[in-house]
Amino acid sequence: MNATPPPPRTSVPAPGLTAGQRARELLLSPNAIRLASVAVFMAVWEYFGRQMDPIFMAPPSAIFAAAIELVQSGALRKAVVESLWPFSVGMVLTIVIGILVGIAVAQWRIVEYVLDPFINALYAIPRIALVPLIILWAGLDFAGKVAILVSVAVFPIIVNTYSGIRDVRGSMLEIGRAYGATEAQIFFKIVLPAAIPFIMAGVRLSVGLAIIGIVVAEFFTAISGLGGMIVEYANVFATAKLFVPIIVIALVGVVLTELVMWLERRLSRWRQLERDRF
Amino acid sequence: MIAMAGATAAAAMPPRDVMVAYEGVSKFFSIRVRPGQQQRGELMVALDRVSATVRKGELVTLLGPSGCGKTTLLRLTAGLIAADEGRITVGGAPVSGPRKDACMVFQNFGLLPWRTVIANVEFPLELDGVAAAERHDLARHFLDLVGLAGFTEHYPHELSGGMQQRVGIARALMRRPILIFMDEPFGALDAQTREQLQEDFLRIWSRTAATVVFVTHSIDEALILSDRIFVLATGPGRLRTIVDSPVAGERLAGDVRTHAEFAPCRAELRHMLRSEGT
């Protein structure tokens, strides 16, 4: 009847790209467009910045010169340390307090009923409104900065830890119970790992708020750190110098947020992949 | 054609041959409150005075339509919920909670998604505080047995449903249990995968001395797997009769569907499940 059919194919060669298509792909790649966008923005800024009164606006070249000057004089280094030290301490405290309070509220009904009126009230008040009071109590220096940062940044971690723990499905707890796990084992081996993605999302939100918190604290105290530097240069119309701490804060913010997002992705990979399945 | 094993025969069984004994076991649930028409002070009977025994080393299925209390009976036996009347003993001891030597295979596999396959299998022994190297070796052994030797470092969401349930079976074997509970373990799988798993599970089970209590709503599955079938009925949930599988002797030898007694027994069970309230 027929000759033997050709063997089944498991793959076929992909069509190649022409030189034109490849060039197009490179030029229109997201990163190429991003780079071009920033370059055009800097050029426009440089051009108009030079024409404007230096009290209102400084071109990128002047900012760069100011940055070099501040680095060489050591002023920038000093300000960075003055900001980052309370920031780090505050962030660690925020994470520890946030997670512990979140766990306590989620695990024990009595703690929830005792604390939730205060958590809700503090969550509703813009915490910036409390800054003068906190300064009154904790002072203008290190302790004041840390207290302001924690008060601003701690809530997303509390709320997310709480929701993460409450979100753990009963069927997952039953795995532990059926295998005879103790309450502590169920908490550490099932509840906490299951809540990690939520907690990490809370930490990510909290880092953004903490940066705002430290800058606001330094605006009020206006004597130290990057925030203090901004106020100081604004007061004397040193506009080129004013941009330097702003750019440093922006860079720190981007780096920290990326770091936390990377960590979040790593720790929550199972959850993302699990979601992709359905 | 179908041999009915009555309660009198069970009572005559010497105690050392008994793995699970049910003595007038009932479970009540509170009626869901509907505004305006709730009947206060009355409980719904989920399971009414079940008396039966499961022999050591046998595979018993609890067969019935949804709402017949078969999963409730399994959960009672596993010690996840307590009986409201009567007594259940496992190996002569009254059930007061989950036992370490009685392990569960769950309907939706019950794997912890943030743990790798091997870490999921190690879970029970991790709870028992067994040394890492020892439980790792044992987990490898059982993963090999269920045919997943090459998937130890995968995550559950990277596996198909059938493979996930193989992990669930390997985990249940880790403590070398005397009793295995299976709650519609193959219900979520497609037909081909289900048949393959039934066959593989029978083969694995035949190499252990474990007694199995297996919940299913599939008549075919009950006939293919069981020594005896506990047929449950609804309204209220109760044990209606116990049927000896006519093909139990042949089940390890191949497809029992082709056995002469399979079809008539299947028809009879079907009839029994359909005619409610007798």
A266 touches chain B (CB under 8 A): no
Which residues of chain B neighbour A270 with C-beta distances below 8 Å? Answer: 113-114, 155, 157
Cβ-based neighbours of B195, under 8 Å, separated by 6 or more: none
Closest-CA residue in chain B for A169?
A: B110
For an interface test with A, the pick among B105, B123, B163 (most A C-beta atoms closer than 10 Å) comes out as B123
C-alpha to C-alpha distance for A52 and A45, rounded to whole angstroms: 10
Helix (H, G, I), strand (E, B), or coil: what is residue A219?
A: helix
Q: Following CA atoms B180, B186, B191, B193 in sequence, which dihedral angle do they give, to the nearest 10 degrees? A: -70
pLDDT at A74 over 90: no
Closest-CA residue in chain A for B122?
A: A179
A170 touches chain B (CB under 8 A): no
Which residues of chain A neighbour B110 with C-beta distances below 8 Å? Answer: 171-172, 174-175, 178
Q: Which of B98, B108, B114 lies nearest to residue A180, judging by beta carbons? A: B98
- Does B78 sit within 8 Å of A180, measured CB to CB? no
Contact criterion met (CB below 8 Å) for B132 and B118:
no
Q: Which of B100, B103, B113 lies nearest to residue A270, judging by beta carbons? A: B113
- Does A273 sit within 8 Å of B155, measured CB to CB? yes
Q: What is the pLDDT of residue B278?
A: 47
**Distance of CA A90 to CAs A162, A266, B57, Å?**
21, 24, 61
Which residues of chain A neighbour B124 with C-beta distances below 8 Å? Answer: 179
Cβ-based neighbours of B218, under 8 Å, separated by 6 or more: B63, B187
- Does A277 sit within 8 Å of B80, measured CB to CB? no
Contact criterion met (CB below 8 Å) for B242 and B200:
no
Burial of A254: CB neighbours in 10 Å, binned 0-12, 13-18, 19+: exposed
Provide the pairing of β-strand B102-105 with B18-30: unpaired
For residue A21, name the pLDDT band (cuts at 50, 70, 90).
Answer: confident
- Does B104 sit within 8 Å of A178, measured CB to CB? yes
Q: What is the pLDDT of residue B9?
A: 47
Q: What is the pLDDT of residue A223?
A: 75
For residue A277, name the pLDDT band (cuts at 50, 70, 90).
Answer: low
Q: How many CB atoms lie within 10 A of CB A196?
A: 17
Q: Which of B80, B104, B157 lies nearest to residue A270, judging by beta carbons? A: B157
Average pLDDT over residues A130-152: 88
Q: What is the pLDDT of residue B115?
A: 94
Average pLDDT over residues A12-34: 85
Q: Which of A174, A193, A276 lies nearest to residue B114, judging by beta carbons? A: A193
Q: How many CB atoms lie within 10 A of CB B145?
A: 18
Q: What is the pLDDT of residue B37?
A: 60
Question: What does the pLDDT profile of chain B (278 residues) look like in tens digits?
Answer: 454 544 444 455 667 789 999 999 999 988 766 666 655 677 888 899 999 999 999 999 999 988 888 999 999 999 999 999 999 999 989 999 999 999 999 999 999 999 999 999 999 999 999 999 999 999 999 999 999 999 999 999 989 999 999 999 999 999 999 999 999 999 989 999 999 999 999 999 998 889 999 999 999 999 999 999 999 998 888 898 999 988 888 888 877 888 888 888 888 899 888 875 44
A177 touches chain B (CB under 8 A): yes
- CA angle A166-A169-A172, nearest 5°? 125
For an interface test with B, the pick among A173, A179, A196, A278 (most B C-beta atoms closer than 10 Å) comes out as A179
- Does A180 sit within 8 Å of B99, measured CB to CB? yes
B126 touches chain A (CB under 8 A): yes
Average pLDDT over residues A144-164: 93
Average pLDDT over residues A77-96: 93
A225 conformational bin, left if phi > 0, alpha if psi -120 to 50, beta if neither: left
* Sheet of B18-30, strands arranged across: B43-55, B18-30, B85-90, B93-94
Q: What is the largest CA-CA distance in chain A?
A: 98
Closest-CA residue in chain A for B96?
A: A180
* Domain residue ranges in chain B: 1-29+44-95+204-278
Could you please report the per-residue DSSP string of chain B? -PPB--HHHHHTS-GGGEEEEEEEEEEEEEPPP-TTT--TT-EEEEEEEEEEEEETT-EEEEE--TTSSHHHHHHHHTTSS--SEEEEEETTEEP-S--TTEEEE-TT----TTS-HHHHHHHHHHHTT--HHHHHHHHHHHHHHTT-GGGTTS-GGGS-HHHHHHHHHHHHHTT--SEEEEESTTTTS-HHHHHHHHHHHHHHHHTS--EEEEEES-HHHHHHH-SEEEEEETTTTEEEEEEE-TTGGGTTTS-GGGSTTHHHHHHHHHHHHHSTT-
**Distance of CA A39 to CAs A46, A66, A250, B74, Å?**
10, 20, 18, 68
Window from A84-88, A137-141, A153-157 with minimum mean pLDDT? A137-141
Q: Of B72, B91, B98, give the one whose Cα is nearest residue B83.
A: B72
- Does A174 sit within 8 Å of B110, measured CB to CB? yes
Closest-CA residue in chain B for A181?
A: B127
Instruction: Report the residue count for chain B.
Output: 278
B177 touches chain A (CB under 8 A): no
C-alpha to C-alpha distance for A15 and A18, rounded to whole angstroms: 10
Tell me the two tokens of residue A230. Answer: 């901004």
Average pLDDT over residues A174-186: 94
Long-range contact set of residues A189-195: C-beta below 8 Å, sequence gap at least 24 = A189/B112, A189/B123, A189/B126, A189/B127, A190/B112, A191/A165, A192/A165, A193/B112, A193/B114, A194/A164, A194/A167, A194/A168, A194/B114, A195/A161, A195/A164, A195/A165, A195/A167, A195/A168
Q: What is the pLDDT of residue B236?
A: 87
pLDDT at A155 over 60: yes
C-alpha to C-alpha distance for B223 and B70, rounded to whole angstroms: 16
| Distance (Å) from the alpha carbon of B224 to chain A's nearest alpha carbon | 27
Q: Which residues of A119-144 are buried (b: 16+ CB within 10 A; e: fewer)?
A: beeeeeeebeebbeebbeebebeeeb
Cα B6 off chain centre by: 21
Chain A, residues 148-167, CB within 8 A of chain B, namely none
Which amino acid is residue A253, in one-letter code? G
- Does B113 sit within 8 Å of A271, measured CB to CB? yes
CATH class of the region B1-29+44-95+204-278? alpha beta
Q: Could you give the domains of chain A?
A: 64-277 (1.10.3720.10)
Cα B65 off chain centre by: 15
Q: pLDDT for A246-270, tens place per residue? A: 999 999 999 999 999 999 888 887 7
Q: What is the pLDDT of residue A273?
A: 67
